[in-house]
Amino acid sequence: MGKKADFLSPKAISNRIKSKGLQKLRWYCQMCQKQCRDENGFKCHTMSESHQRQMMLVGENPGKYIHAFSSEFFADFMRLLRHSFGTTRVHSNVVYQEYIKDKHHFHMNSTRWTTLSGFVRFLGREGICKVDETEKGLFLQYIEKDPEGRARREKREKMAKDDAEREAELIARQVEKGAAESGSPEEVVYTELKRDEESEGKIAFKLGGGAVAASKEEEEVPGPPPPPKPISVFASGAKKTTDQKKSLDPRKRSALDEIIEMEEKKRAKVKKHDNWLFENIVVKVVYKKLGDRYHKRKGIVRNVEDRFLGVVKMLDSGDVLKVDQAHLETVIPAVGKPVLILNGAYRGLRAVLKKLDIDNYCVDVEIDEGPLKGRAVEGIAYEDVSKWYE
């Protein structure tokens, strides 16, 4: 037999590093709780005497073992959901990925639930969690039923308030206290507008002039109205009528102007889309769990799958990752560089960045393609535009 490797030898260190990580589920024996590294190792394990004895015990009462594994899986999953995520709404796969980080966790294929979706729907039917299904998948939210747990959660939320919130509450209380000490302000009483007939005269109209105020004596004995002044048709009246016709005539528009106006009306009614990923744009990875090698690093979207999943090629390392849209961020280039509008009325059009408005978190661009080329668009939010990879 070969000599066993020393504890500090490279082979022994490599074996310990490999044993710490997760291996493929197909080479894991839940009954013996043993993880094999490859197909040959798993085959040798299934032929071992210990595994055969364990399978004979399971064959006598398989329901007992499945029930035990299901109970353990349910208890561990709910403990993680309750302690790590609380009552916040979270994607079911995020909780499951956190759960399987433990090397010796209970695998789902040994329970009575065949898929994660079936298990999450079971939690919704039993009233344990609030489950809602969206385009991104199943989301679940733990329902706190224990009074002590609810009290602890409220206490944590109360302690989590930062200094700014406490200061705002203090200012609001001081304002209320000052208003109470000064007394309630006098209320403004609105009354109906009435005209005093004795002090003011009535309004009369004359054909020759404007509106004048008439006294009671003039109203009782009205005089004959003066004859209207003759209007010369050949004088300034004809010129005035011609000028009015000219001002009322609409400007003759070309067919291109009418098409552009129709397109603008259609674009004004466009609503924002939930998905903003496009191919050939530069994005930034903001998912901390991917590690420092990819966190806050930039990449190019090479392909978009299922509307929300982007195949990103990192610019510095050249690695290709599949990252959800929620873990990506747009990149704003320098002024004069090309960008792509990701949302809104001009979605999918390339443009040139003209101005940055740092205070309002928006940019001004100029369309660089299509019939709207040269049109300036102002006030586009940072998240609705990203750098175009040339």
Mean pLDDT across the stretch 339-360?
Answer: 90
CATH architecture of 63-148: Orthogonal Bundle (1.10)
What pLDDT does 301 receive?
94
**For the chain, what percent of residues have pLDDT higher than 70?**
69
Q: Looking at the predicted structure, is the pLDDT value of residue 241 above 80?
A: no
Which of the residue ranges 12-16, 186-190, 345-349 has the most confident prediction, judged by mean pLDDT? Answer: 345-349
Enumerate helices (H) and strands (E) in the chain, giving the number of each: 11, 17
191: tokens are 């009354």
What pLDDT does 268 receive?
59
Q: Looking at the predicted structure, is the pLDDT value of residue 213 above 50?
A: no
Of 260, 238, 242, 315, residue with least CA distance to 284? 315
Question: pLDDT tens for residues 73-130?
Answer: 899 898 888 888 888 889 999 998 888 887 777 888 788 888 888 899 998 888 888 9
More confident residue, 98 or 191: 98
Separation between Cα atoms, residue 322 and residue 314, nearest integer Å = 11
Domain ranges, ordered by start, for the chain = 63-148, 276-387
What pLDDT does 332 receive?
93
> Does domain 276-387 sit in CATH 3.40.50.20?
no
What pLDDT does 385 receive?
93
5-26 in b/e form (b: 16+ CB < 10 A) is eeeeeeeeeeeeeeeeeebeee
Q: Looking at the predicted structure, is the pLDDT value of residue 277 above 80?
A: yes
